[in-house]
Amino acid sequence: MGADRRGNRQADLRRRLTDLGLDGILVTSAPNIRYLTGFTGSAGILVATTTHTTLITDFRYAEQAPTEAGDVADIMVESSNLWERLRRVLEPGPKRRLGIERNHLTVRDADRLSRMEAAEAVPTTDLVEDLRAVKDEGEVEAIRAAAELAQDALSELLPSIGPGQTELEIAARLELALRVRGSEWHPFETIVASGPRSALPHARASGRRVGVGEWLLIDFGARLSGYCSDLTRTILVGGRADQRQREIYGVVAAAHHAAIAGLTPGLSGREGDALARDVIEAAGFGEAFGHSLGHGLGLEVHEGPRLSRTAPEPLPAGAVVTVEPGIYLQGWGGVRLEDDIHLSATGAQRLSDCRTELLELH
């Protein structure tokens, strides 16, 4: 993962707190806690003030938390109630304006916080997520490694695919290949969809058997050092593609190429989306591309920034995003191609292999 950037991340967060007139922020999102401290446990509350950082966890992580966080946070292990410990942490001092993560704090926990006299809760949006959108060198390399692992697993799987196999069988072999190669877990539920079901952008693998001459859409990823990859390949099983299959696949491949060639920091998310959408619309399939072009990728498989028709914000230098144009025709099937791209200062850099040639397994 390269140099330890956790101290820098906390310093950046403190500057944002000062700009907003906040004394601190209560972080309850597990990915955000990991980003700031390295702690990976399932139970934790992080209080980051303008002067120091405190991580409260429970007895299950009494050894793990100090090992992972090191000296970037004060560790407090609570044997009973984390929120009661938080009250004891806050109450010795004066009342503080404490930011809360409006997208993550539950109503129940917000009620708990409201009863603490030492805290004035101030809703905030994406303070840590905005920092996470810009990846450092170590994060980029972790995503690249996760993409390479996923590609290797797919390469092992492809020769074994044939007509008559169920989507679930194919998904199971792919997930085994990912785990054997060291994937910490699957970033999302592996999608394996065949024939007409490939027109379902988020289809779950089913017991359907793959037919001769059908599309097989595989959307999958790996996780290394906490960082995700996200890839999609659409292949033809048991024969040669017909004219319509080749036409639609070619349009999606052209949109994929156009997006990667044109993406650069500073474009708005809307402009990035249009790079591929314009190609698909020009071919007459605009209504069949119903989702956005892509999303940010990192500790979570879906994070900022967005490449979408509804995203006017500029794409920051250093972001890692997916590029995943698709065409979906109900009753016929769908084609999607997805790769992971780093938006460096000099333009789009490929973290995955970006293979778009039509693969026919026969």
Residue ending a domain, among 132, 159, 194, is 132
Inside any domain, residue 42: yes
Q: Are residues 75 and 148 in the same domain?
A: no
Residue ending a domain, among 103, 132, 161, is 132
Q: Are residues 144 and 40 in the same domain?
A: no
Long-range contacts of the stretch 166-170 (C-beta < 8 A, 24+) = 166/206, 166/207, 166/208, 166/209, 166/210, 167/192, 167/193, 167/194, 167/197, 167/205, 167/206, 167/207, 167/208, 167/210, 168/192, 168/205, 168/206, 168/207, 170/205, 170/210, 170/216, 170/218
What's the CA gap between 226 and 303, in Å, rounded? 14
Inside any domain, residue 1: no
Q: Are residues 346 and 278 in the same domain?
A: yes
The residues facing 220 across adjacent strands are 231
Nearest to 160 by CA among 147, 146, 149, 171: 171
Residue ending a domain, among 116, 132, 148, is 132
CA 316 vs. chain centroid, Å, equals: 16
Q: Are residues 161 and 305 in the same domain?
A: yes
Q: Are residues 95 and 153 in the same domain?
A: no
Query: Does the global pTM surpass 0.85?
Result: yes
pLDDT number for residue 1:
59
What's the CA gap between 144 and 224, in Å, rounded? 9
Inside any domain, residue 344: yes
> Which CATH number covers residue 197?
3.90.230.10
What's the CA gap between 225 and 202, in Å, rounded? 26
Q: Are residues 194 and 245 in the same domain?
A: yes
Q: Are residues 121 and 217 in the same domain?
A: no
Q: Are residues 175 and 102 in the same domain?
A: no
Q: How many domains does the chain have?
A: 2
What's the CA gap between 248 and 283, in Å, rounded? 9
Inside any domain, residue 282: yes
The answer to whether 263 touches 305, Cβ cutoff 8 Å, is no
Q: Are residues 184 and 52 in the same domain?
A: no
Q: Over its length of 362 residues, how does the chain's per-residue pLDDT go in tens digits? A: 578 999 999 999 999 999 999 999 999 999 999 999 999 999 999 999 999 999 999 999 999 999 999 999 999 999 889 999 999 989 877 889 999 999 999 999 999 999 998 999 999 999 999 999 999 999 999 999 999 999 999 999 999 999 999 999 999 999 999 999 999 999 999 999 999 999 999 999 999 999 999 999 999 999 999 999 999 999 999 999 999 999 999 999 999 999 999 999 999 999 999 999 999 999 999 999 999 999 999 999 999 999 999 999 999 999 999 999 999 999 999 999 999 999 998 889 999 999 999 999 98
> Which CATH number covers residue 64?
3.40.350.10
What's the CA gap between 205 and 194, in Å, rounded? 9
The type of residue at 262 is: G
Q: Are residues 123 and 179 in the same domain?
A: no
Q: Are residues 175 and 93 in the same domain?
A: no
CA angle 270, 280, 305 (to 5 degrees): 25
Q: Are residues 145 and 260 in the same domain?
A: yes
Segments forming the whole domain that contains residue 19 = 6-132
Question: For the stretch 292-315, what's the b/e string if a residue is b when 16 or more beta carbons lie within 10 angstroms of its beta carbon?
Answer: bbbbbbbbbbebbbbbbeebeeeb
